């Protein structure tokens, strides 16, 4: 569907309907997604507990880009493009570890960089060589409530609104003092938007996620769960827990601010947390004296989503890799002093979201297979898919495709 060198035709979209086929299948539109959407917004790279010591690092990817996230000598966190300034080789190959000698050395020609990205050594270079101009390229990075956010943009959206909302949600749940207890990655053969849209609606939860639906009021239409939600908020308030909903996602975000949304929802009676038997999985976190039978959802930007219970947390990272391939990384958090085997069992802790993620992989891939059909036509969103509909409207505005048949420069 290309429209000449460096340009992409953007199909028109009917308001209140899912996107046309090309948005999920066209490689040129995927490139446009990267440039105009994904690389311009903040995304969660991981949790600060993954960098406990100076020199610790891990890699995080987005599309074809690779980023080194590391803890420097002054204890600050840096995000550096994993591209050598000599001839472009990847500098780090191992997905995580501790930098030897207090820095990174490119395996190709042995250019050496400090933990802050500054070039330390380059052999046999001419006298005219400007060492100060050959540092690894830094990216914007910010740590909020233990969550490491990274952005490729030279002028990223402000995180002020997100910082305030996260302090009142992730902060209440004690995520800054948490640690990673388990993680898993699911490769999904589908476009990233199908994966993200799926996470942003629970219209599919009752038919597709039986274990989730047995425990969460969110799987039901709002009117059916209203009384349970009210009782849960009163129960939480009695424990001193007050987390306000924030409707700042997508088009509702203030100009110049990154999108942030917070939603508080109850578990069904008999379930204190998201466990097989409804009983606690780990010690209570943050300001929670005990499990209160509720959960907190919060989203930042287009591909970073979070879910917190009183005794554990879940980070969902959607990593677009190609037009038809997305990695879904799931990270489980517990209280920082919790001891595996004594305070929690990783298999039991991760059970529900392992089951749910496997189911999500299957339904998203089936969705992609159907969208691939030449006979696919966009359908209307239901009342239970309002959040997904808002996401699509925001995506189109960010892409520059809010008006039908608009043509957008790709470079």
pLDDT digit string, tens, across residues 208-227: 999 999 999 999 998 899 99
Mean pLDDT for the stretch of residues 148-171: 97
Within 13 Å of residue 319, how many CA atoms lie on the same side as its CB? 22
- By residue count, the chain amounts to 411
DSSP state string for 81-112:
ES--TTT---S--SSEEE-GGGEEE-TTT--E
Per-residue pLDDT, 217: 96
Tokens of 225: 């769960």
Between 337 and 404, whose confidence is greater?
337
Question: In sequence order, which residues have a C-beta less than 8 Å from that of residue 210 and are 6 or more positions away?
Answer: none
Domain positions in the chain are: 1-41+159-411, 43-141
**H or E segment and range at residue 43:** strand 43-47
Helices (H), 2-48: 22-25, 27-36
- CATH architecture for residues 43-141: 3-layer Sandwich (2.102)
Q: Is 209 exposed, middle or buried (0-12, 13-18, 19+ CB in 10 A)?
A: buried
Give the CA dihedral 85, 87, 92, 95, nearest 10 degrees.
120
Residue 127 pLDDT greater than 50, yes or no: yes
Predicted structure pTM score: 0.94
- What would the pLDDT profile of 369-404 be if each residue is shown by its tens digit? 999 999 999 999 999 999 999 999 999 999 885 433
Task: Give residue-wise pLDDT tens across range 64-80.
Answer: 999 999 999 999 999 99
Tell whether the model's pLDDT for residue 409 goes beyond 60: no
Given a contact cutoff of 8 angstroms between Cβ atoms, the answer to whether 167 and 105 are in contact is no
* Superfamily in which the 1-41+159-411 domain is placed by CATH: Naphthalene 1,2-dioxygenase Alpha Subunit; Chain A, domain 1 (3.90.380.10)
Q: Alpha-carbon dihedral of residues 207, 208, 209, 214, nearest 10 degrees?
A: 10
């Amino acid at each position: 569907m290309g429209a000449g060198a460096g340009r992409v035709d953007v199909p028109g979209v009917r308001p209140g309907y899912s996107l046309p086929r090309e948005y999920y299948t066209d490689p040129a539109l995927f490139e446009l997604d990267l440039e105009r959407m994904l690389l311009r917004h903040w995304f969660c790279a991981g949790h600060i507990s993954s960098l406990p010591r100076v020199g610790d690092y891990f890699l995080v990817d987005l599309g074809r880009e690779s980023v080194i996230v590391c803890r420097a000598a002054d204890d600050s966190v840096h995000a550096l493009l994993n591209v050598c300034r000599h001839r472009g080789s990847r500098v780090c190959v191992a997905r995580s570890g501790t930098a030897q000698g207090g820095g990174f050395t490119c395996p190709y020609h042995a250019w050496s960089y400090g933990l802050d990205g500054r070039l330390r050594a380059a052999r046999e270079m001419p006298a005219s060589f400007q060492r100060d101009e050959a540092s690894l390229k830094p990216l914007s990075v910010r740590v909020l409530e233990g969550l490491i956010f990274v952005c490729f943009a030279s002028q990223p959206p402000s995180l002020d609104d997100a910082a305030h909302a996260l302090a009142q949600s992730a902060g209440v749940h004690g995520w800054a003092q948490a640690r990673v207890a388990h993680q898993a990655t699911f490769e999904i053969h589908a476009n990233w938007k199908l994966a993200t849209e799926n996470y942003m609606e629970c219209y599919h939860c009752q038919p597709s996620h039986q274990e989730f639906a047995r425990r969460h009021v969110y799987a039901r239409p709002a009117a059916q769960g209203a009384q349970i939600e009210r009782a849960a908020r009163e129960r939480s308030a009695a424990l001193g827990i007050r987390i306000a909903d924030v409707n700042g996602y997508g088009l509702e975000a203030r100009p110049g601010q990154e999108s942030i949304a917070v939603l508080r929802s109850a578990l069904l009676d008999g379930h204190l947390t998201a466990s097989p038997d409804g009983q606690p999985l780990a010690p209570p976190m943050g300001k929670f004296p005990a499990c209160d039978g509720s959960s907190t959802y919060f989203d930042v930007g287009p591909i970073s989503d979070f879910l917190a219970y009183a005794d554990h947390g879940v980070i969902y990272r959607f990593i677009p890799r190609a037009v038809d391939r997305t990695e879904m990384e799931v990270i489980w958090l517990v209280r920082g002093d919790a001891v595996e085997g004594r305070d929690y069992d990783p298999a039991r802790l991760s059970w529900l979201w392992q089951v749910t993620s496997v189911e999500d992989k299957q339904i998203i891939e089936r969705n992609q297979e159907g969208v691939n059909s030449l006979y696919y036509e966009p359908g209307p969103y239901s009342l239970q898919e309002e959040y997904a509909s808002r996401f699509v409207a925001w995506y189109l505005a960010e892409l520059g495709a809010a008006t039908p048949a608009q043509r957008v420069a790709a470079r």
